[in-house]
């Protein structure tokens, strides 16, 4: 990880378009070359960020997802600016559109989302920040964005983790109307087709998610 001075940081951000702001400065920037600069500001007080910085988690998760065959960002450079207490990650902007913007015109895309989520769960991937805005779709493939809060285990997800993850996805504010129109039970039926769950486990999961 390269260390940057204030001057170096200013040069890195020069001519970049700010896409997202943090109270301490730019959070997401797009460079003239088409790369994304994602900024992580160190947190004060008691925080797990002190033990394992979020930027380093992001890097590790990117590597783990690629090894698991899941599309996500590919980090090309990483920096740390001590004065600003900020980590900066650089990666090429992924092609495609977020699923939230696509389902308005392509509601049947949610069937593919169901299959993709099942794939994640069977691979033991617990993507806590899952919602349609954090899924990118391009040429028939999905990619994960904002992968800071994620864990990967060697076995398929447990019942509890599946329920928690699916509830977060299906009832996320701004997305739940799309799933309601598509049919939550229909979504789950498609999801089950790509899982190793038996009939009893499927029934238990449906009961835990649907009213």
Whether 24 shows a pLDDT value over 90: the answer reads no
pTM above 0.85, yes or no: yes
- Residue 10 structure tokens: 């200013």
Cβ neighbours, 10 Å, residue 176: 14
Return the domain boundaries, the chain: 2-92, 97-209
Whether 22 shows a pLDDT value over 90: the answer reads no
Side-by-side strand order, sheet with 77-81 = 2-3, 77-81, 86-92, 35-41, 25-30, 17-22
* Superfamily (CATH) of domain 97-209: Transferase(Phosphotransferase) domain 1 (1.10.510.10)
Whether 46 shows a pLDDT value over 60: the answer reads no
Domain spanning 2-92, CATH class: alpha beta
d(CA 142, CA 189): 20
Place of tokens 């004065």: 83
Mean pLDDT of the chain: 93
Contact 4, 90 (CB under 8 A): no
């Amino acid at each position: 990880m390269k260390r940057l001075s204030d001057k170096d940081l200013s040069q890195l951000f020069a001519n970049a378009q700010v896409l997202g702001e943090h109270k301490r400065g730019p959070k997401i920037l797009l460079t003239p070359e088409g790369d994304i600069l994602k900024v992580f500001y160190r947190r004060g007080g008691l925080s797990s960020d002190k033990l394992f910085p979020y930027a380093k988690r992001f890097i590790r998760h990117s590597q783990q997802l690629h090894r698991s065959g899941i599309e996500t960002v590919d980090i090309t450079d990483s920096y740390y600016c001590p004065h600003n207490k900020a980590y900066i990650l650089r990666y090429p902007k992924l092609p495609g559109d977020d699923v939230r913007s696509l389902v308005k015109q392509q509601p049947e895309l949610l069937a593919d989302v169901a299959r993709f989520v099942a794939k994640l769960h069977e691979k033991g991937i617990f993507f806590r920040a899952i919602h349609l805005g954090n899924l990118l779709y391009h040429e028939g493939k999905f990619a994960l964005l904002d992968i800071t809060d994620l864990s990967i285990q060697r076995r398929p997800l447990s019942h509890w983790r599946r329920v928690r993850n699916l509830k977060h996805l299906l009832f996320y504010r701004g997305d739940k109307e799309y799933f309601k129109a598509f049919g939550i039970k229909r979504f789950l039926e498609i999801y089950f087709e790509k899982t190793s769950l038996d009939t009893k486990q499927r029934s238990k999961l449906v009961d835990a998610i649907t009213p």
